[in-house]
């Protein structure tokens, strides 16, 4: 189990990037509360300026770029993971308003809060007893 | 590594691709001290060890940790990194979870020319980076000859 979680999934992007390089799909966690949809994505090595989030036609696209410069003149002697940029897209329910999405980036984790419009929230319908 | 870059028509000077290929090659065929699998490959989190003349850098990719919850200890030639990661933190219905939560601990035995007790660790953008310098005795030293 630990082995599957640890290995980065390389992803084939339908649109080719201008720069060559392997692209990985970040691991995500998606939860839904009554008022919002939450998404956390693991983007290790990516800082805030290198993250791009777009919501267009109900498709959420997350991308984060990693800089190769920090390798300098280091030689790898033992590696268990590779380093690369991240891309992933999700199709969201149609009622999320892109103007209301909040994004936070902390310690390599991107946290997105996508509030649901009031009409989509579950409403308790009171039962009157006759 | 160079063979495949030159033949694929891709810009051979692409720095990121060169770095990625070098990392991938040493994943498949690790060299040196660590090649005999002393580290227990497959345990979590995955580690990368890189070397230059001044020492080595040990890296773990563990985003989302609280920096106070990370512990890096050295004992002799062994470096031990441990910590705890909790989940997204919001209650609610779980749709998908690919992020692991929980405690982790990994120990690495470093070669004798490194000095783990002088290591410096930092946590940036979710990557724990530990710089271990070469120990004093391993640096080349000029020994003067007394001529009588």
B6 falls within a domain: no
Task: Read off the pTM.
Answer: 0.77
Taking the Cβ of residue A115 and every Cβ of chain B, the question of whether any pair is shorter than 8 Å is answered with no
B147 falls within a domain: no
B22 falls within a domain: no
Q: Where are the alpha helices (DSSP H) in chain B?
A: 2-7, 15-28
Detail the DSSP E strand segments found in A3-129: 9-10, 23-25, 28-32, 36-42, 51-56, 59-64, 75-79, 85-91, 102-106, 109-115
Interface of A with B in 3-32 (CB under 8 A): 3, 5-7, 19-22, 27-32
Out of A33, A80, A108, name the one closest to residue B63 (CB): A108
The predicted-structure confidence for A93-118, as pLDDT tens digits, reads as follows: 877 877 888 999 989 999 999 988 87
Domains of chain A (ranges, CATH numbers)? 2-13+29-117 (2.60.40.790)
Query: How many angstroms away from the CA of A126 is the closest CA of chain B?
Result: 23
B37 falls within a domain: yes
The predicted-structure confidence for B96-108, as pLDDT tens digits, reads as follows: 888 888 888 888 8
Chain A residues whose beta carbon lies within 8 Å of the beta carbon of residue B96: 28-30
pLDDT tops 60 at residue A71: yes
Which chain B residue lies closest to A20 (C-alpha atoms)?
A: B17
Question: What gap in Å lies between CA A65 and CA B13, rounded to an integer?
Answer: 18
Please indicate whether, in this complex, the C-beta atoms of B14 and A19 are within 8 angstroms of each other: yes
Question: What gap in Å lies between CA B146 and CA B148, rounded to an integer?
Answer: 6
Out of B10, B16, B51, name the one closest to residue A74 (CB): B51
For chain B, the domain total comes to 1
B7 falls within a domain: no
Out of B43, B52, B91, name the one closest to residue A33 (CB): B91
CATH code for the domain in which residue B78 is found: 2.60.40.790
As for the ipTM of the complex, it is 0.75
The predicted-structure confidence for A24-66, as pLDDT tens digits, reads as follows: 899 999 998 888 899 999 999 898 898 999 988 889 999 988 8
Per-residue pLDDT of chain B (148 residues; tens, 9 = 90+): 444 444 444 555 567 777 788 787 777 666 666 655 555 555 678 888 888 888 899 999 888 888 888 899 999 888 889 888 877 667 788 888 888 888 888 888 888 889 888 999 999 999 999 999 988 877 778 888 998 8
B80 falls within a domain: yes
List the one residue out of A34, A58, A56 whose CA is nearest residue A117: A34
Question: What gap in Å lies between CA A111 and CA A43, rounded to an integer?
Answer: 10
Segments forming the whole domain that contains residue B76: 33-88+100-138
B113 falls within a domain: yes
Residue A32 to residues A40, A103, B99, Cα–Cα distance (Å): 12, 16, 16
B9 falls within a domain: no
List the one residue out of B58, B44, B48 whose CA is nearest residue B99: B44
Please indicate whether, in this complex, the C-beta atoms of A31 and B95 are within 8 angstroms of each other: yes
């Amino acid at each position: 189990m630990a082995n599957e979680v640890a290995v980065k999934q390389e992803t084939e992007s339908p649109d080719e990037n201008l720069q060559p390089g392997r692209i990985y799909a970040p691991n995500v966690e998606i939860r839904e509360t009554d008022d919002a949809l939450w998404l956390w994505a693991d983007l290790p090595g990516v800082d805030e300026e290198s993250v791009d989030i777009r919501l267009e036609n109900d498709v959420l696209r997350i991308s984060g770029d990693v800089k190769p410069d920090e390798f300098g003149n280091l030689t790898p002697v033992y590696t268990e993971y590779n380093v690369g940029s991240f891309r992933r897209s999700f199709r969201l329910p149609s009622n999320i308003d892109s103007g209301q999405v909040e994004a936070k980036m902390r310690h390599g984790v991107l946290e997105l809060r996508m509030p649901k419009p009031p009409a989509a929230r579950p409403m308790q319908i009171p039962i009157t007893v006759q | 590594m160079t063979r495949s870059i030159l033949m694929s028509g891709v810009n051979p000077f692409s720095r990121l691709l060169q770095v990625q290929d070098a990392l991938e090659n040493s994943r498949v065929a690790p060299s040196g001290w660590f090649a005999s699998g002393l580290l227990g490959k497959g345990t979590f989190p995955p580690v990368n060890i890189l070397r230059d003349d001044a020492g080595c850098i040990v890296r773990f990719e563990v985003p989302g940790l609280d920096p106070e919850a990370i512990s890096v200890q050295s004992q002799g030639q062994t470096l031990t990194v441990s910590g705890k990661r909790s989940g997204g933190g919001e209650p609610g219905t779980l749709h998908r979870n690919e992020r692991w939560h929980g405690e982790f601990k990994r120990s690495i035995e470093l070669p004798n020319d490194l000095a783990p007790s002088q290591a410096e660790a930092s946590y940036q953008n979710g990557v724990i980076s530990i710089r271990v310098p070469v120990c004093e005795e391993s640096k080349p030293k000029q020994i003067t000859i007394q001529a009588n």
